Amino acid sequence: MYRQTDATRRNAAQREYAIAEAARALVTASGFSAATVKSVAASAGCSAGLIYTYFPHRDALLCGTFAHASGHELAAVTHALDTAPTAAEAVAALVDTFLTRALAGARLADALLFEALPPAVEAERLRFRADYAAAIARRLDAGISTGDVPAQDTSVTARALVGALSGCLQEPVHDEGRTDFTDAEAGRLITSMTTFCLAAVGAPPRKDSP
């Protein structure tokens, strides 16, 4: 009976990661429509057959790619939330991190937030939106316990913040299809959304706000 060794498992994990990274690069450049089994295999330097070893069909590949790409973004946002000393600073860090990354990688942001996807991948998108909201709610709960922000239904507030941050990108990133933004444009959007989100959680405005 065949048994996997530690080395075999490591090699398999490395191959799967290489496939996921190749798919993420394609999506970052051209959206999920570009992530076909053939194109991912070519980018990863492997056969289509090997792709099917890890992902039995294209929807599974797209789900895995969405999870891999979204996981990078969620990790950055969670780190920003968790390392801010107060809830208000965490909200400001959330806005800055989310929008800075989205505007710098607008094609990927459009793919993750707005691109039409198969139902299975849409379900993955909803799961990650819930994960974002859960991370925000946890930080707001901590802020309530220390008196940084007033008592509120943090699950509702967190979902509203996720919706607002996504929604403010729809016109420039999806409707207009823009991929380049000046520092001034990014700064204005981040300032506006920071003011909005701080007010939404009941935190005082930043001292440097207009």
Render pLDDT for 155-179 as a digit per residue (tens, 0 to 9): 999 999 999 999 999 999 999 999 9
Q: Hey, what are 64's tokens?
A: 């895995």
- In the chain the domains, ranked by start, together with CATH numbers, are 60-201 (1.10.357.10)
What digits encode the pLDDT tens for the residues 179-206? 999 999 999 999 999 999 999 999 988 7
Please determine, for residue 12, whether its predicted confidence score (pLDDT) is greater than 60: yes
Q: What pLDDT does 190 receive?
A: 98
Q: Is the model's pLDDT at 4 over the cut of 70?
A: no
Give residue 20's pLDDT: 87
Share of residues in the chain with pLDDT > 90 (%): 84
Polymer length of the chain: 210
Average pLDDT (150-157) is 98
pLDDT of residue 113: 97
Q: Would you state the pLDDT for residue 60? A: 93
Note the pLDDT of residue 5. Answer: 76
Per-residue pLDDT, 77: 97
Checking if the pLDDT of 45 tops 80, the result is yes
Q: What is the pLDDT of residue 16?
A: 86
Percentage, residues of the chain above pLDDT 70: 97
Residue of 69, 59, 171 lying closest to 128 (CA atoms): 69
- Per the prediction, the chain carries an average pLDDT of 93
Q: What is the pTM of this model?
A: 0.88
Residue 209: the pLDDT is: 52
Question: What is the pLDDT, as a whole number, of residue 2?
Answer: 52
Q: pLDDT tens digits for 78-109?
A: 999 999 999 999 999 999 999 999 999 999 99
